[in-house]
Chains A and B, each alone.
Chain A
Amino acid sequence: MKRRTYLRRTGAGVAGAALLAGCSSTDESGSPDGSDGNGGTTTGTATGTPGEPSGTLTVATYSSFTGEDTAGAWLKSAFEEEYADVTVEFTTPDNGINQFVQRKQQGAPVEADAYVGLNTGELVRVDEQLDEQLFVPVEDQLERADTVEDSLRIDPDGRAIPYDTGFISLVYDEDEVPDPETFDSLLEPEFEDGLIAQNAQQSDPSRAFVLWTVHEYGPDEYLDYWDGLVDNGVRILSDWEPAYNAYTNEEAPMVVSYSTDQVYYHGEGVDMSRHQVGFLDDQGYANPEAMATFADSDNQRLAREFMNFALTEEAQAEIAVRNVQFPAVAGVDPGGDFGQYALRPPEPVTFTYDELAGNVGTWIDDWARQVVSG
């Protein structure tokens, strides 16, 4: 619980309502409740045994992580079952992590304990924007942090811990085009007007795809490659959903998407020909999703418990199946349909935090300007 006072008054008339109703005020008198990295303050009921976590944990995440049948809903109920005195609440700010970066910049309170759904580029942006710490290092205090696959670790400072990962690949229609085996082949006439991508300025998979081309051709050559793609008729729509919808409507035979595509499409009587996964040069770009604990949280210990819980084998398998992403912990096999139809690239590639720092913004901006001017 935050020590906050709410002033709720209902004014008479529009002016009163405009100025008062729905308007709350907080004392700006000082820092949040002190919490050192080790203990943290846990507010609990008198019946809670010492050492047993209790209280309300507020988890900020993206909206599709919550609701019926989601990874978030499973985590909440399983975690609450584990700790009787704990309640998990989700908050889903529409502008994601920016909400908290901007709050920090404006000196507004950060009203969440943990964040779920952070990728490497976002972590780079957080650190470029803020001088002070938004998240605290937790790796040394997390029992299971060392079970996460080394290749997925995104944070040299040990704040953000991956809980799952997607791999960006192409999805193509084998009745229309051959397997696009390499990046270079996409420049060939047989793939003319063949590819739908998304705007990397707003879409995660496309941002990963552009970074993948930087990884393949280098920061000095990737724009030339994109010149070729544009000349060959690549289409760039706003976001993953409109792009995939256009692909479903047969506007083009290839789309930038995820290698888990067939998890949704398999079984009797399903036409798999439009759901072939193309790993260019046998690669797929890894886009790990991580969780972290807010530095301003009064509940850091509980937040760490939650993060640790999300790394248990059971939770990893559940998150993978419900989020349709691969587990981050090595050796976890979700099995079932997921195990059978989620395809891993032969050679996962990705940029590390240090490679992206200072570059990712420029790479994406230059890419966008080139596409618009080209």
Chain B
Amino acid sequence: MGATSRQRVTGRTLDRLALPAGVVLTLAVLVVVFYYPVGSVLAAAVSDDGGLSLAPLLAVLGDPFYTGVAHHVVTDPLSIPGGVAEWVRAGPSLPSFGLLGFTAYQAALSTGASVLLGLPGAYLLSRYEFRGRATLRSLTILPFVLPSIMVAVGFIAMFGRTGVFNDLLGLVGLGPVNLLFTLELVVLAHAFYNAPLVIRLVTAAWEDVDARHVETARAMGASPVRAFWDVVLPQLRPALLTAALLTFLFTFMSFPIVLALGGLQLATVEVWLYARVQNLALTEAATLGVIETAISLALTYLYLRYEARQTATRAGGPSLERRALLAGRATLRDPRRVALLGYGVVALLVFVGPLASLLAESVTGPNGAFTTAYYEFLLEQQAATVSGTTRPLPAVRNSLVFAAGTLLVAVPMGVVVSLVATRGGRGSRLAEAGLTAPLAVSGIVVGLGLLQVLVFGTVLAGRRYTVTGPVAIVLAHAVAAYPFVSRNVTPALASIDSQLVAAARSLGATRLRTLVDIELPLIAAAVVAGAAFTVAISVGEFDSTVLLAEGVESYTMPVALERYIGNRSLGPNLGPATAMGSILLFVTAASFVVIDRVGGRWQP
């Protein structure tokens, strides 16, 4: 009696304290490695010699270089009606909205392209069965981990003037096309990075659609199209819009890839922010950061309001049956399957092309002949004894260790945030938007904050405290990654039939018990998807890793790659870096497959 009652008491206490404790820990981590550092940077945008001031913001908003014709709103609002009238009189012309306007335009195009490229992929992966489907699904987020310089190498080798794409066009008597230095190629690269988000999020949602609902609709006489429209689509919409929102935020704040493929003429706001930081013009940098963050957070908040109104429920029924993709000769008579095969060709060009080109570059010498010199270079580095030499194997090991640590921190954080979001009352949308902020703040601003607050240290009571090293790196990665977990998990959690939870609770299950036994299995697919993203974010992260690493000996795969770029021992080429990039690809590909295989065990 004593023991069981004691157990029951501790069980109850644990149950009552689990979520609040999770929230407190999550907030503590966020304050240390995100809110405080970022706040200390952005504060410069609204202060002037210690007092509050709007001057820096007005200076940027009133500069036609940043805001185009909209700068009149700040500088001379009374002139606007006249100006508009004049513009109408002058005949149709597109007014310029400056750097901010162009950045938003580019992000909108990139978002559209990512959705167009991602949706058919999600349809294919969730509704058709074919050999290697599960592996392919695991590998879809591979582009996420690639440093931009490697994407640039892959894209130039694929879509450049002398690239594979033009060779293929030549075979069918077309081309050549010059894509480099065009907005089209930048948008395509953004789609390469972000369509995987669409694929992964929408696939998870589609696999969660309760087949019984569709069957019920069909039994009541709905056509397949009608059933899709009324039953399936409402369950996909949150995931699709989440993916679109995230893509917009990322491409709005895109920086290196724009300049590596498009050139300075296609610069984004982030390019300017970076240049300000380089020049130590930190007030203007902070101001640009505040504007970016305000736009991003406003979009996020509006989206979350919308998402909360969606009420699709599922009760853990069976998923939709997958059809065989190939049905012998009948395959070519089915327009849907033919269209999917056509999409497969496009996907091969856009996703596999640059990755395969990158692998090919790692075994191609400057004269175009096959060479193993770059991999031999890696072996030499591994065998080198000189201190300060960057070796490939420790880089692989560090990356994996940090990724594992990030999983342990980010997945619970993401689930906690989702629980708060789905059980919230008044103001919880605002809270959730605040908790999604790591996606809405420029990486350059975050890096600057970490440098000033954690690396340089903060003075408390006469002592200077610095936070660097592996733990700090893991926490920084977790903060960057947990929103991906919560963005995957929140919609899934919200769609769980509340009657299920109520039934379990009334039968005597504690809240924690209900979470572990009922809710988590129902959202396992979403958690696994979030875990895969977490690993991708952690492995691909460069900026805070470099900042927070202690000494020259703690480096990850992207950091090693970056150092090999500057290594001229084989001449001024990117060969050694592409070899390291290929290793990065293989290691992460293996990790994703393992995550999905392990995670798949908990899925109903």
Where the two chains meet, the residues of A that have a C-beta atom closer than 8 Å to any C-beta of B are: 14-15, 17-19, 21-29, 62-64, 66-70, 72-73, 76-77, 89-92, 94-95, 98-99, 101-103, 106-109, 125, 129, 199, 201-202, 230, 235-239, 241-242, 244-246, 248-251, 257, 261, 264-265, 270-271, 324, 361, 365, 368-369, 371-374
Contact = CB atoms under 8 A, between A and B. Distances in A.
29 contacts: A24-B465, A27-B462, A27-B463, A63-B566, A66-B389, A67-B381, A67-B384, A67-B386, A67-B389, A69-B569, A107-B459, A109-B464, A201-B271, A230-B265, A236-B265, A237-B259, A238-B256, A241-B149, A242-B152, A245-B574, A248-B366, A261-B572, A265-B571, A271-B367, A324-B568, A365-B279, A368-B267, A368-B275, A372-B65
A25 B460 CA distance: 10
Contacts of B33: 18
Given A64-B567, A67-B567, A372-B99, A202 B274 contact: yes
Given A372-B265, A372-B267, A101 B280 contact: yes
A92 B559 CA distance: 12
Contact of B29 (A14, A98, A129): A14
Contact of B464 (A25, A241, A249, A270): A25
Contact of B563 (A67, A90, A99, A125): A67
B456 A201 contact: no
A101 B568 CA distance: 28
B388 A22 contact: no
Given A91-B552, A235-B181, A249-B162, A68 B451 contact: no
A221 B153 CA distance: 36
Nearest to B547: A94
Interface in B240-288: 256, 259-261, 263-265, 267, 271, 274-275, 278-280
A67 B547 CA distance: 19
B44 to A, nearest CB: 12
A24 B162 contact: no
Given A90-B388, A246-B160, A250-B162, A371 B265 contact: yes
A264 B568 contact: yes
A319 to B, nearest CB: 13
B19 to A, nearest CB: 15
A198 to B, nearest CB: 9
Contacts of B459: 28, 107
B101 interface: no
Interface of B: 25, 28-29, 32-33, 65, 99, 149, 152-153, 156-157, 160-163, 180-181, 256, 259-261, 263-265, 267, 271, 274-275, 278-280, 366-367, 380-381, 384, 386-390, 409, 451-452, 456-457, 459, 462-472, 475, 546-547, 550-552, 562-563, 565-569, 571-574
Nearest to A103: B456
A70 B566 CA distance: 11
A236 B263 contact: yes
Task: Please provide the 6 A-B residue pairs with the shortest distance between their CB atoms, ordered closest to farther.
Answer: A238-B259, A64-B566, A22-B469, A66-B388, A108-B456, A264-B571
A18 B156 contact: no
